[in-house]
Structures are given as C-alpha cells and as structure tokens.
Amino acid sequence: MSAPEDAGQDAAPRRGYAKGAARRAQILDQVLRMVAEQGVDASSLRSVAEALGISHAALRHYFPTRDDLLVAVYRAHEVQRGEAGGPPESAVGGMRKSAVLNREVPGLVQLYTTLAGDAAGAGHPVTREFFRERFARLRAELSDQVRADQEAGRIDPAVDAGDIAALAIAASDGIQVQWLLDPDAVDGARVLELLERLVPPPPVASSEGTARP
C-alpha cells in the first residue's frame, strides 16, 4: 500500500519545526553559558549574534527582543537548577540551597537582579509577566511546604503560610543583591538559615493544658 500523497508534504514542516526548535535550544544553551560566565552585559541581541556567528536578524527570528532572550535564558537556568537541586527539605531550605549554588554562577544572579529591576519599571511587559507568574508560583509552592511543616508540628499553625512564603522570597532576593555587590560581606546561606530558625515553632502546652507563649 503506497503512502498518501501528502505524507511528504506533512513531514517537511515537521522537520523544519524540529530543526528550528533545535537551533533555538542551541542558541539558548550558548547564551546561558555566556551569561553565567560574563554577566548580562554580554547579552545584547547584537553582541550575542556576533558571538554565535549568526546575523542579528536570525537571532531575532527566535528571540524578537532582548527581554524575550533574557527571560528564556533564566527559565532555562531554573529548569536546570530544579533538576540538579532536587526537592527542598523545607520552605526556606530550598532557597538556602540555591544561595550556595548561586556562588558558582554570579552572572546568573546578576541576570536575575537585572530582570527584577526591569520588571518593576515600565516598558518591559515580558519581564513583568514573567516575575508576576514566578512569584505567584513560588508563593504557592512555599506555602504548601509551610503548611506541611505546620501539620508536622515544626511551625506554629497560627502563622499565615502565605506570609512566611512572601517573607522568605523577599529575604532571598534581597540577600542576593547584597551578595552580588559585596560577596565577602554576606553569606546568603547562613542568613537564610537564621531566618529558618526564626520561624516560630508551635507553642508549648503547659501542664494545665493551655499553650504557653
């Protein structure tokens, strides 16, 4: 039985799509290494195109704007970090582990702080939406971890899980900026460990059955 006449026509677009996706992934991987080693300054679209040996127009085919490129780079970094880091042992513990790993890639910490600054300003809708979604996801994930710790008796159940999650994110991001500006003065992992110890445990019940503060 012969193949349908349009089989070859269908295969050609699929091959073209697969080739384009592979080329995009290759570019992303190369830029990720560039940013990790050299920082954000090396990642303008034109400089990236020159470093990769492709035209500016060809790079814009895959990443229309600098924001599209940098957000894609950080998303790729987060995927790699998640695969390498494993599940966090506690709400703050995962961020403490990231603080240790970040010492190896200061360029990506710089990328994160640059994107965060862009997201807070005007004219960066792609970056703003990325951070809105990221913070919403992190708050939800961390809140679930806090609630698990509360059910296990490690954190006071009266404390709002969402508030602890938001505080942990704020502390982690702020420490990253301080570490980036003065690496020898700030130990991010140690500071986050302190934050974890400051999260209130459940109140201790007195012999009369009432909780003591």
Q: Is the pLDDT of residue 61 over 70?
A: yes
Specify the higher pLDDT residue, 165 or 97.
Answer: 165
Instruction: Report strand pairing: 211-212 vs 204-205.
Output: antiparallel
The percent of residues in the chain predicted with pLDDT above 90, rounded, is 39
Question: In the chain, what is the straight-line distance between the N-terminal and C-terminal CA atoms, in Å?
Answer: 81
Which residues make Cβ contacts (< 8 Å) with residue 69, sequence separation at least 6? 31, 43, 45, 48, 59, 63
Which residues make Cβ contacts (< 8 Å) with residue 109, sequence separation at least 6? 102, 176, 179, 180
Question: What confidence tens digit (pLDDT) does each residue in 105-158 have?
Answer: 889 999 999 999 999 999 999 999 999 999 999 999 999 999 999 999 989 999
Say how many CA atoms lie within 13 Å of 65 toward its Cβ.
8
Q: According to the model, what pLDDT value does residue 140 have? A: 95
pTM for the full predicted model = 0.79
Which residues make Cβ contacts (< 8 Å) with residue 68, sequence separation at least 6? 126
Question: What confidence tens digit (pLDDT) does each residue in 76-108 have?
Answer: 988 887 765 556 667 787 788 888 888 888 899
**Tokens matching residue 32:** 């990720």
Question: Rounded distance, CA 189 to CA 203, Å?
Answer: 27
